[in-house]
């Protein structure tokens, strides 16, 4: 397999996970560039058995690059188009291009075929959307989902490395009995607390994070008729997002049917033995690439409904692993 010149843009939590996943999956990296802001330039990062010096991102950074993985943030707006103009294929983890009708929004277990119509940029969906649609797709294929109600319990790693440090510091402060708990990442104390507020509030009362789940789900699933409502909550967990998902289908599925469908689906591990206290946990999903589904039961409030508990590592399947899987699909399709 031909080796590729790869650029990873960003050295935060997602950027570091990109490097880890590329190494673990033996992606055919030839030359590697690690790019970031001027503040991070000059630092070193490890990839496989070698240290790489972080370079400041400029348009010229993408000369000769085959694949550019953007970890997110402002860099995507500033440099993604510059990268494609120089011949690179961009897989972008920011929200910049997700709802652009000219840009595919891809989860390989759900809509891998959409990579075929990319025009230089492929968007990586929101972390909370990715794990949900992996679980929804096989149920949708079997019985067509009409409506989704989801409440998320999202780890602080989704807000970056500084958020991880803030939870760690605040937890120490609380346990040591300090009265004044300060933070800069979140508007309120996150340690031993839950914040029903991720991203900015919109005029309709939803947050931007919640509306991402609505629109991204419809785009990825290729069905704008699926109705979605979401409440997204930041919880004091370091890594791993959990979701309580209720789906209403056109054709009734029993809980056992749903379990069998999900067990056969790619990328899913069913952990569902409540009597044996077996159900998905964030601490067990952390470091893994699968989406874990459990607490599968029929919704007693509607005729054709199911309740699911869906858990995944938001830095891996919710970001870096999904992006690398997209790149692997591009290779398989001969598009890299």
Rounded Cα–Cα distance for residues 190 and 238 (Å): 11
Q: Tell me which DSSP letter residue 230 carries.
A: E
Mean per-residue pLDDT, 137-164: 97
- Whether 117 shows a pLDDT value over 70: the answer reads yes
Q: Tell me which DSSP letter residue 86 carries.
A: T
Write out pLDDT tens, residues 87-97.
999 999 999 99
- Whether 278 shows a pLDDT value over 90: the answer reads yes
Kindly state the tokens that stand for 16: 């570091």
- φ/ψ of residue 208, rounded to 5: -60, -35
Residue 118 known to be catalytic: no
The confidence score (pLDDT) of residue 1 equals 67
pLDDT, mean over the chain: 97
Lowest mean pLDDT among 39-43, 121-125, 188-192: 39-43
Mean per-residue pLDDT, 75-93: 98
Residue 37 has a CB neighbour count (10 Å cut-off) of 15
Largest separation between any pair of C-alpha atoms in the chain: 60
The confidence score (pLDDT) of residue 207 equals 98
Catalytic residue, chosen from 118, 127, 194, 197, is 127
CATH of domain 4-125+319-332: 3.40.50.720
Rounded Cα–Cα distance for residues 227 and 17 (Å): 33
What residue ranges do the domains of the chain occupy?
A: 4-125+319-332, 129-314
Residue 239 has a CB neighbour count (10 Å cut-off) of 21
The confidence score (pLDDT) of residue 251 equals 97
The confidence score (pLDDT) of residue 2 equals 85
The confidence score (pLDDT) of residue 73 equals 86
Mean per-residue pLDDT, 265-272: 98
- Whether 79 shows a pLDDT value over 90: the answer reads yes
Mean per-residue pLDDT, 289-315: 98
Q: Using a CB cutoff of 8 Å and minimum separation of 24, what contacts does 257-260 make?
A: 257/142, 258/139, 258/296, 258/306, 258/308, 259/296
Class of 129-314 per CATH? alpha beta
- Residues 6 or more apart whose CB falls under 8 angstroms from that of 276 comprise none
Write out pLDDT tens, residues 199-230.
999 999 999 999 999 999 999 999 999 999 99
Residue 194 known to be catalytic: no
């Amino acid at each position: 397999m031909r080796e590729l010149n790869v650029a990873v843009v960003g050295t935060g939590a997602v950027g570091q996970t990109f490097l880890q996943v590329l190494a673990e999956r033996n992606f055919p990296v030839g030359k590697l560039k690690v790019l970031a802001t001027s503040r991070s330039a000059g630092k070193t990062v490890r990839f496989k058995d070698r240290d790489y010096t972080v370079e400041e991102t400029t348009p010229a950074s993408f000369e000769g690059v085959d694949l550019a993985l953007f970890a997110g943030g402002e860099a995507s707006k500033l440099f993604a188009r510059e990268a494609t103009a120089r011949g690179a294929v961009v897989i972008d983890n920011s929200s910049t291009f997700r709802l652009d009708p000219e840009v595919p929004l891809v989860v390989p277990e759900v809509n891998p075929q959409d990579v075929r119509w990319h025009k230089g940029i492929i968007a990586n969906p929101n972390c909370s959307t990715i794990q949900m649609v992996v679980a929804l797709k096989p149920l949708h294929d079997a019985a067509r989902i009409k409506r989704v109600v989801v409440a998320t319990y999202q780890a602080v790693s989704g807000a970056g490395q500084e958020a991880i440090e803030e939870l760690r510091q605040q937890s120490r402060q609380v346990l040591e009995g300090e009265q004044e708990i300060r933070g800069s990442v979140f508007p309120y104390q996150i340690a031993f607390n839950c914040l029903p507020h991720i991203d900015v509030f919109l005029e309709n009362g939803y947050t931007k994070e919640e509306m991402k789940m609505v629109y991204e789900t419809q785009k990825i699933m290729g069905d704008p008729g699926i109705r979605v409502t979401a409440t997204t909550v930041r919880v004091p967990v370091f890594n791993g997002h959990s979701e309580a998902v209720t789906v209403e289908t056109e054709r009734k599925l029993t809980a056992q049917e749903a379990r069998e469908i999900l067990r056969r689906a790619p990328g899913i591990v069913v952990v569902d033995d409540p009597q044996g206290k077996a159900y998905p946990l964030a601490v067990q999903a952390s470091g893994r690439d699968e989406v874990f589904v459990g607490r599968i039961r029929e919704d007693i409030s509607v005729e054709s409904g199911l309740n699911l508990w869906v858990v995944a590592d938001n830095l891996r399947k919710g970001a870096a692993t999904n992006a690398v899987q997209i790149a692997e699909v591009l290779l398989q399709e001969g598009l890299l």
